[in-house]
């Protein structure tokens, strides 16, 4: 009978070792599953952040393009006004009997009005 207890004790110890190994494997797998879930979460957040950045950059590009158009229109208007003033100065000098100076004729309006 003593031998049977020893045999049972050995088998219980072996079963205990197997159970510990299985638990360790399960723990490793759980960590792996948790790591994969965290990786998926982080990847989803990265994709969302990338989309948000892309949207922000598109808005920024549109804003810059709009600002450049406004600047272009303002510059065109300013050049038009300068051209008009220059032409008026040249006409006034011509009426007063003076010949227009070269600097009075510097701003020539373009055919497209700019």
Domain boundaries, the chain: 2-105
DSSP annotation of 98:
P
Distances in whole angstroms, Cα of residue 56 to Cα of each of 37, 67, 80:
28, 16, 36
What count of Cα atoms within 13 Å lies in the side-chain half-sphere of residue 85? 7
Among 2-6, 57-61, 97-101, top mean pLDDT goes to 57-61
Q: Encoding tokens for residue 43?
A: 């990847």
Q: So what's the pLDDT on residue 78?
A: 95
Neighbours of 104 (CB within 10 A): 19
Any alpha helices (H) in the chain, and if so which ranges? 2-95
CB distance 83 to 108 below 8 Å: yes
76: burial class by Cβ within 10 Å (0-12, 13-18, 19+)?
A: middle
d(CA 66, CA 52): 21
For 28-61, write each residue's pLDDT tens digit.
888 888 888 898 999 999 999 998 989 888 888 8
């Amino acid at each position: 009978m003593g031998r049977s207890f020893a045999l049972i004790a050995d088998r219980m110890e072996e079963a205990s070792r197997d159970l510990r190994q299985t638990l360790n494997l399960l723990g490793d797998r759980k960590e792996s599953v948790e790591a994969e879930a965290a990786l998926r979460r982080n990847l989803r957040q990265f994709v969302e952040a990338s989309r948000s950045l892309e949207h922000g950059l598109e808005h920024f590009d549109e804003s810059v393009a709009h600002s450049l158009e406004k600047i272009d229109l303002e510059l065109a208007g300013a050049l038009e006004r300068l051209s008009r003033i220059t032409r008026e100065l040249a006409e006034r000098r011509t009426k007063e009997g003076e010949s227009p100076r070269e600097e009075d004729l510097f701003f020539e309006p373009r055919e497209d009005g700019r």
